[in-house]
Amino acid sequence: MTTEITIKANPKFIKTFQKGFPLLNNDNVTANLDNHQEGTILNLVDSHHRFIAKGYYGKQNKGIGWLVSWKEHEAIDQEFFNRKFQQAVNQRLHFFYDEETTAFRVFNSEGDGFGGITLDYFNGYYLIQWYSQGAYSFKDEIIRAIRELPNYKGLYQKKRFAVEGKYMEEDDFVHGERPSFPLLVKENGTSFAIYLNDGAMVGVFLDQREVRKLIRDKYADGKRVLNTFSYTGAFSVFAALGGATETTSVDLANRSLSKTIEQFSINGIDYEAQNIIVEDVFNYFKFAVKKELSFDMVILDPPSFARSKKHTFSASKDYKDLLKEAISITEKDGLIVASTNCSTFDMKKFKGFIDKAFKEIGGSYKLLEEFTLPEDFKTINQYKQGDYLKVVFIKKQ
């Protein structure tokens, strides 16, 4: 049984909520929910006890819950979830019909009307990610709704609500068939090896689809490419397929070597002709400067926060310095692809880091392309923070 309680909006935020802002946090509501169970339905009211919206209690790093309906008499029941998922699918039908792209996001949290969960599609297999215990409390209805979705073969999950959104290691299989892994999917004709039951990450970050395509189709031909924080080497593979004369992938995780070899191999590229280096990127930059290496394209896609043996990297503090390192080993007229998924700063600030990096070095540049989240990672205007991705193609002049 889900319980239901009433909470009051902070008067300063009433307008914002009425317009559709979905996130509840300790600033914008006056409620102490500590004694309530996650998943409790919250009726948000104004100072006169008038209904604004309803949501649920679920603590995650961003807040304490999400508003999911602005209709007083809408129940959060099986029908509700069936409708939400159906709507999300309807907006992405062209993906389901596209034989060249068989991996994409089907449901993007608050962007699709229910914060705290995401759902991705991998060639008939679905992956749900739960961001709070509260979101997970709706699992029976949500899983039932997912089983009705197009081409459904099976469902996997990632629970990301241990501490601060951390992934909980367990068997991630939920229902249906288990494919044999790697599960091969396609993105604009290029293959990816996917592992749905092997830790927190599955092998690809789907939000970079358009960036990879542009690198392959427009920028890679004839270039020597350095791909830093390369993970499974997705950008390197697209660059190689686009005619790069050489790619160098650098990541400090041991797993990145075998994963990158696999990624090249399933796309028919001889990995031995590529450089795959397991090392701290910051050490690699030093090495590259010492050896006077230079590249025509340098890709930067660091995590928002990372700690290695010698370095702590925080995108909001250190991105500018990372750019300076990249600039110093990029050829004149070369390209830097700077990417970040850090949600604590916006595109304007990100461009500020870029400008400052070039100014401090005394160099000039031109911005060529710019990306935020692709359409399957749906976001809403009322919650701009949801569009966390920022990618800029910069020409060094």
Binding site for ligand SAH (CB under 6 A): 205, 208, 229-232, 234-235, 250-253, 256, 280-282, 301, 303, 306, 308, 311, 313
Type of residue at 109: S
- From the CB of residue 376, how many other CB atoms can be counted at a distance below 10 Å? 24
CB 69 within 8 A of CB 53: yes
User: How would DSSP label each residue in 372-390?
Assistant: ---TTS---GGGGGG---E
* Minimum CB distance to ligand SAH, residue 255 (Å): 8
C-beta closer to ligand SAH: residue 93 or 200: 200
The dihedral built from the CA positions of residue 141, 147, 150 and 155, taken in this order, carries a sign that is positive
CB-nearer residue toward ligand SAH: 281 or 394: 281
Name which of 91 and 308 has its Cβ closer to ligand SAH: 308
Of the pair 235, 350, the CB lying nearest ligand SAH is at 235
Q: How far is the CB of 206 from ligand SAH (least distance, A)?
A: 10
**Rg, the chain, Cα only:** 22
Closest to 320 measured CA to CA, from 298, 293, 350, 290: 350
- In angstroms, give the least distance from the CB of 280 to ligand SAH: 4
> Least Å distance between CB 212 and ligand SAH?
8
In angstroms, give the least distance from the CB of 161 to ligand SAH: 21
Structure tokens at 7: 């909470």
Phi, psi of 284 (to 5 degrees): -60, -40
In contact, 333 and 397? CB cutoff 8 Å: yes
How buried is 176 (Cβ within 10 angstroms: 0-12 exposed, 13-18 middle, 19+ buried)? middle
Shortest spacing between CB 392 and ligand SAH, in angstroms: 15
- C-beta of 137 vs 190, nearer to ligand SAH: 190
Closest to ligand SAH by CB, 22 or 233:
233
Task: Calculate helix-pair angle for 234-241, 255-265, nearest 10 degrees.
Answer: 30
- For ligand SAH, which is the closer residue by CB, 157 or 236? 236
Shortest spacing between CB 247 and ligand SAH, in angstroms: 13
Give the Å distances, CA to CA, from 299 to 201, 212, 219, 379, 383. Answer: 20, 11, 12, 26, 29
List strand residue ranges (DSSP E) for 252-292, in order: 275-278
Of 36, 307, 38, 62, nearest to 164 by C-alpha is: 62
Q: In this complex, which beta carbon is closest to ligand SAH, that of residue 237 or of residue 354?
A: 237
What does the chain come to in residues?
A: 397
- What gap in Å lies between CA 242 and CA 222, rounded to an integer? 9
Q: How far is the CB of 156 from ligand SAH (least distance, A)?
A: 19
Question: How far apart (Å, rounded) are the C-alpha atoms in residues 95 and 106?
Answer: 9
Quote the least distance from Cβ 70 to ligand SAH, whole Å.
36
Q: Which two tokens stand for residue 208?
A: 């970079």
Smallest gap from residue 341 Cβ to ligand SAH (A): 9
Please check whether residue 46 is in contact with residue 12, taking contact to mean a CB–CB distance below 8 angstroms.
no
Contacts of 65 (CB under 8 A, 6+ apart): 24, 33, 42, 55, 56, 57, 58, 59, 132, 134
Pairing of strands 295-300, 224-228: parallel
Q: Shortest gap between Cβ of 338 and ligand SAH (angstroms)?
A: 12
What is the Cα–Cα distance from 175 to 390, expressed in whole angstroms?
35
